[in-house]
Amino acid sequence: MTMSSDQNPAKDFKKRDVERSFQRFSNYTSYVFQSENVTFPNNFDILINFWETDEVMSVITAQLKQIDISYDDWFNNLRHISNNIRREFRLPLDEVKRTALLYKICLKTFTSDINVGTFSENFIHVQDLEVTIRFFNKNIVIPLTDSIGYKIADISDTIDEQYKEQIMVPVTILNVFNDNKVMIGNNNEFKSEAAIGRGANIEKERLI
């Protein structure tokens, strides 16, 4: 997903706009990761709606939607295992195509074309809703938010270069501890399973 300098989405954003979007991005993803089966659908829809409508995020997601990759082709080509009861879970090796596919899966879930429970059951053959949500978060949402977080960092770096005459905002250091508390700078704290962005120190707890 290479762009020329005149197509760089960062040129129309002020640094505070990107930082505000990044903060919301971090908050909304943390809500999804903390969700139980009752709260997951609403928190997930809030996250995807934010990605689709936020001025910074929509530039990134619009690019992802232009990548030519078919969900149906990917799913139908997955190898069957365990007497055809389950499918092998494999994502594209190419980072751009993988991220685009992950976002397409999330969009299909957002529009109810995919059900999280049914989707996950294809790979783990477990009908427990908490387990299927955990599988979906671990294998779809977390890798996607990681990739989108890298793109936000690229935009933020470009803004740093373009607005050197402005007062620079100190780099925010995000530390994720074992109890999932995230310290922002020296003052603020919220719970999360992951924090993503430029200047972030991340230790992500594995989902069991």
What would the pLDDT profile of 146-201 be if each residue is shown by its tens digit?
999 888 877 777 666 665 434 333 333 233 333 333 333 334 343 333 333 344 43
Structural domain includes residue 190: no
Structural domain count, the chain: 1
* pLDDT tens digits, one per residue of 102-147: 999 999 999 999 999 999 999 998 889 999 999 999 999 999 999 9
Nearest-angstrom CA–CA distance, 4 and 21: 23
Q: Would residue 187 count as lying in a domain?
A: no
- Residue 204 belongs to some domain of the structure: no
Residue 27 lies in a domain: yes
> What SS3 state is found at 27?
helix
Residue 16's domain spans which residues? 12-166
Can you give the pTM of this predicted structure?
0.71
Q: Is 108 exposed, middle or buried (0-12, 13-18, 19+ CB in 10 A)?
A: middle
Strand partners, 123: none
